[in-house]
């Protein structure tokens, strides 16, 4: 099975630091999405650090034409992100970790937004590794 996936991380939308350097993170994100699209890629794994909470709605709208998987980074907030992305969210869960499977592979997505992996998440991860799939 052949599959193209774009992995992108750390775009830091609307944050003061990029703005202070006169970097337009939203414009750069559009350039990245255009490049991904021009390569015929329709699946994106986003590795965290979307940016300011106020950017979440715009960010997720920009991805509506893609299959999206996401992990949270230390600049992301679970309660804000799940308003827009709730794939794999378990009721009463406070971290965004989940798995996806297809015929050949099992994908495990972890949440490092707190700066570490909780014991509950780590236990889930160890169980998730018990599979015959790659």
What CATH number should be reported for the domain holding residue 114? 3.60.21.10
| Number of C-beta neighbours around residue 91 at 10 A | 4
pLDDT recorded at residue 22: 93
Task: pLDDT band for 86, please (50, 70, 90 cuts).
Answer: confident
Asked whether residue 111 is domain-assigned, the answer is yes
Structural domain span for residue 115 = 6-128
Asked whether residue 133 is domain-assigned, the answer is no
- Chain centre to alpha carbon of residue 82: 11
pTM assigned to the model: 0.88
Task: pLDDT band for 87, please (50, 70, 90 cuts).
Answer: confident
Domain count, the chain: 1
Asked whether residue 109 is domain-assigned, the answer is yes
């Amino acid at each position: 099975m052949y599959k193209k996936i774009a992995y992108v991380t750390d775009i830091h939308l609307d944050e003061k630091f990029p703005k202070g350097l006169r970097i337009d993170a939203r414009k750069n994100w559009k350039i990245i999405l255009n490049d991904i699209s021009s390569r015929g890629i329709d699946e994106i794994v986003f590795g965290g650090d979307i940016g300011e909470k106020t950017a979440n709605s715009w960010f997720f709208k920009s991805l509506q034409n893609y299959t999206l998987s996401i992990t949270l980074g230390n600049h992301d907030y679970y309660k804000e992100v799940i308003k827009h992305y709730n794939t794999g969210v378990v009721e009463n869960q406070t971290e965004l970790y989940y798995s996806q499977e297809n015929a050949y592979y099992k994908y495990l997505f972890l949440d490092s937004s707190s700066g570490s992996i909780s014991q509950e998440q780590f236990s889930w991860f160890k169980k998730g590794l018990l599979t015959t799939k790659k």
